[in-house]
């Protein structure tokens, strides 16, 4: 058993942290989100060229640095601390995950483009009716000659406005909610018949409703086995959830630290409000939630390489803890900031908005409780 980080992993953390400290202050972020193009291609370029972190989680044969899930965890936690909106999760964790495990034609080439910062991927899986059920799909991919034709509507595709490619789940067979018949495709966003309606999300990201209208793709667009790819989707989704847990740890740290700092400065009744025991115990309970979340994130990250059932249980258990912590720590951070917590000018509210969106991202607390139960004996 070993919970330590290698020197390379610690260096990776320091590299990301120090870059973000210099280039991604709260004010810089806010200014960028208000102006076109509402994200920072310069930061993404720096991730690729200056920091070289986009390859941290890819093997050396693929042009990466030989890391994996732990590297994603390290990077995601730092991105969470700075509320980074640039699409590491969609591109490296999810896009990279499908390319590594699904091994579609041209995967290595696309991975090269990801590492170089040229390819950006968004994952179009959710549908308006499907909630968190990954196999509830109305989007269809019909065989046509050697390739397929896609039709359907994908909901709230995070990062789609900046993406060059979409990874899409679609039915090649089976009925609407059936496990059989789920396939995965990689589609250039510029493909004929793809239209998007772009909008900002409440936590500063950008997303799209994505419509596929008779979009023709070749056979090489297929990722993983035709009609049998639900396990692949679940695996990559678990990797995405584990990475999101890591991001949440960064967000939760900032929520907790910010609250400690604020209550030490804020004076009422002639003393800092941090001197009041009722607030101290609340902040201790927030701290315990944070620590438990870090523990569960380590656990989930380690279990990503375990059997399917152990992986899924570990990840869902972690997401349950993270979901509860995001609610408890987030709500109490605002409460302890009093009226200042309600303002747009203070960072704390922005961390709260992200933590609240993470609660529902890739499945709510109830969803993951039910999934965990479904995988348990008895």
Partner 1 sequence: MNLDFAPEDNAFRLEARAFIAQNYPKILRDKQDKGEALTKEDYLSWHRILAAKGWSTPSWPVELGGTGWTATQKYIWSEEQARADTITILPFGVSMLAPVLYTFGTDEQKAKFLPGIRDGLVWWCQGYSEPGAGSDLASLKTRAERVTGDDGKEYYIVNGQKTWTTLGQHADWGFFLVRTDQTAKPQSGISFLLIDMKSPGIEVRRITTLEGGHEVNDVFLDNVKVPVENRIFHENQGWTCAKALLAHERSGIAGVARSKRGLERLRQMASTEMSDQGATLLSDAFFKRKVTELEIDLTALEFTELRTLAGESSGKGPGPESSILKIKGTEIQQRLQDLALEAAGHYGAPFLGEAGHNSGVGPLHSLDTAGDYFNGRKTSIYGGSNEIQRNIIAKMVLGL
- Nearer to partner 1 by Cβ, of 226 and 359: the residue is 359
- Nearer to partner 1 by Cβ, of 41 and 374: the residue is 374
Please state at what angle helix 41-48 crosses helix 7-23, rounded to 10 degrees: 150
**Which residue from 28, 295, 331, 364 is in contact with partner 1, where contact means CB under 8 A?**
295
Helix (H) or strand (E) holding 123: strand 121-124
- Specify the 3-state DSSP secondary structure of 150: strand
- Nearer to partner 1 by Cβ, of 237 and 283: the residue is 283
**Which residue from 31, 288, 309, 342 is in contact with partner 1, where contact means CB under 8 A?**
288
**Which residue from 4, 36, 61, 269 is in contact with partner 1, where contact means CB under 8 A?**
4
Which single residue is written with the structure tokens 């936690």? 77
**Which residue from 191, 299, 340, 346 is in contact with partner 1, where contact means CB under 8 A?**
299
Q: Which part of the chain contacts partner 1 (CB under 8 A), choosing from 172-180, 205-213, 290-298, 355-363?
A: 290-298
Contact 170, 127 (CB under 8 A): no
* 12 part of the interface to partner 1, by CB under 8 A: no
- Nearer to partner 1 by Cβ, of 169 and 321: the residue is 321
* 364 part of the interface to partner 1, by CB under 8 A: no
* 244 part of the interface to partner 1, by CB under 8 A: no
Q: Which part of the chain contacts partner 1 (CB under 8 A), choosing from 46-54, 210-218, 222-230, 279-287?
A: 279-287
Contact 345, 326 (CB under 8 A): no
**Which residue from 72, 208, 274, 355 is in contact with partner 1, where contact means CB under 8 A?**
274
Q: Which two tokens stand for residue 371?
A: 């999934």
**Which residue from 14, 42, 220, 285 is in contact with partner 1, where contact means CB under 8 A?**
285
Q: Least distance (Å) from partner 1 to the CB of residue 260?
A: 6
**Which residue from 53, 111, 317, 329 is in contact with partner 1, where contact means CB under 8 A?**
317
Neighbour-count burial for 167-196, b at 16+ CB within 10 Å, e otherwise: bbbbbbbbeeeeeebbbbbbbebeeeebeb
Q: Which two tokens stand for residue 46?
A: 């720096």
Helix (H) or strand (E) holding 294: helix 277-303
Helix (H) or strand (E) holding 244: helix 230-265
Q: Least distance (Å) from partner 1 to the CB of residue 369?
A: 6
* 280 part of the interface to partner 1, by CB under 8 A: yes
Q: How far apart are CA 344 and CA 350, in angstroms?
A: 8
Distance of CA 114 to the CA centre of its chain: 16
- Nearer to partner 1 by Cβ, of 13 and 138: the residue is 13
- Nearer to partner 1 by Cβ, of 229 and 274: the residue is 274
Q: How far apart are CA 204 and CA 254, in angstroms?
A: 17
What would you report as the CA-atom Rg of the chain, rounded to the nearest whole angstrom? 21
- Nearer to partner 1 by Cβ, of 17 and 299: the residue is 299
Contact 189, 166 (CB under 8 A): yes
Contact 327, 352 (CB under 8 A): no
The closest of 323, 302, 165, 334 to 244, measured between CA atoms, is: 323
* 11 part of the interface to partner 1, by CB under 8 A: no
- Nearer to partner 1 by Cβ, of 143 and 281: the residue is 281
* 5 part of the interface to partner 1, by CB under 8 A: yes
Helix (H) or strand (E) holding 199: strand 194-200
CA-based end-to-end distance of the chain: 29
* 149 part of the interface to partner 1, by CB under 8 A: no
**Which residue from 116, 191, 275, 346 is in contact with partner 1, where contact means CB under 8 A?**
275
Q: Least distance (Å) from partner 1 to the CB of residue 327?
A: 14
The closest of 167, 179, 183, 176 to 129, measured between CA atoms, is: 176
Q: How far apart are CA 313 and CA 320, in angstroms?
A: 11
- Nearer to partner 1 by Cβ, of 161 and 330: the residue is 330
Q: Least distance (Å) from partner 1 to the CB of residue 284?
A: 4
* 346 part of the interface to partner 1, by CB under 8 A: no
Residues that bind partner 1 (CB under 8 A): 1-5, 70, 260, 263-264, 274-275, 277, 280-281, 283-285, 287-288, 291-296, 298-299, 301-303, 317, 320-321, 369, 372-373, 376, 378
């Amino acid at each position: 058993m070993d919970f330590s980080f290698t020197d390379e992993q610690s260096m990776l953390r320091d590299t990301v942290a120090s870059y973000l400290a210099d280039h991604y202050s709260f004010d810089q972020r806010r200014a960028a989100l208000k102006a076109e193009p509402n994200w920072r291609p310069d930061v993404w370029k720096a991730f690729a060229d200056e920091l070289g972190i986009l390859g941290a989680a890819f093997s050396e044969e693929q042009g990466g640095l030989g890391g994996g899930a732990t590297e994603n965890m390290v990077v995601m936690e730092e991105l969470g601390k700075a509320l980074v909106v640039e699409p590491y999760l969609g591109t490296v964790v999810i896009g990279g995950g499908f390319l590594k495990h699904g091994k579609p034609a041209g995967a290595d080439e696309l991975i090269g483009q990801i590492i170089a910062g040229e390819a950006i991927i968004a994952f179009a899986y959710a549908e308006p009716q499907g909630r968190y059920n990954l196999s509830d799909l109305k989007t269809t991919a019909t065989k046509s000659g050697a390739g397929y034709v896609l039709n359907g509507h994908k909901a709230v595709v995070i990062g789609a406005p900046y993406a060059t490619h979409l990874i899409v789940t679609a039915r090649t067979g089976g009925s609407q909610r059936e496990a059989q018949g789920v396939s995965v495709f990689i589609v250039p966003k510029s493909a004929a018949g793809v239209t998007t309606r772009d909008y900002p999300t409440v936590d500063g990201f950008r997303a799209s409703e994505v419509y596929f209208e008779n979009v023709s793709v070749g056979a090489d667009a297929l990722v993983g086995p035709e009609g049998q790819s639900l396990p692949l989707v679940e695996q990559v989704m678990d990797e995405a959830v584990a990475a999101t847990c890591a991001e949440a740890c960064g967000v939760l740290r900032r929520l907790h630290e910010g609250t400690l700092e604020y209550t030490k400065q804020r004076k009422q009744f002639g003393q800092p409000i941090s001197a009041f025991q009722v607030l101290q115990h609340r902040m201790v309970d927030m701290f315990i939630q944070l620590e438990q979340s870090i523990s569960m994130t380590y656990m989930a990250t380690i279990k990503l390489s375990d059997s399917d059932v152990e992986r899924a249980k570990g990840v869902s258990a972690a997401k349950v803890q993270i979901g509860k912590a995001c609610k408890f720590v987030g709500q109490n951070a605002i409460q302890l900031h009093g009226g200042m917590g309600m303002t747009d000018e203070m960072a704390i509210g922005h961390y709260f908005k992200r933590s609240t969106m993470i609660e529902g991202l890739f499945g709510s607390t109830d969803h993951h409780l039910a999934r965990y139960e479904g995988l348990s004996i008895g």
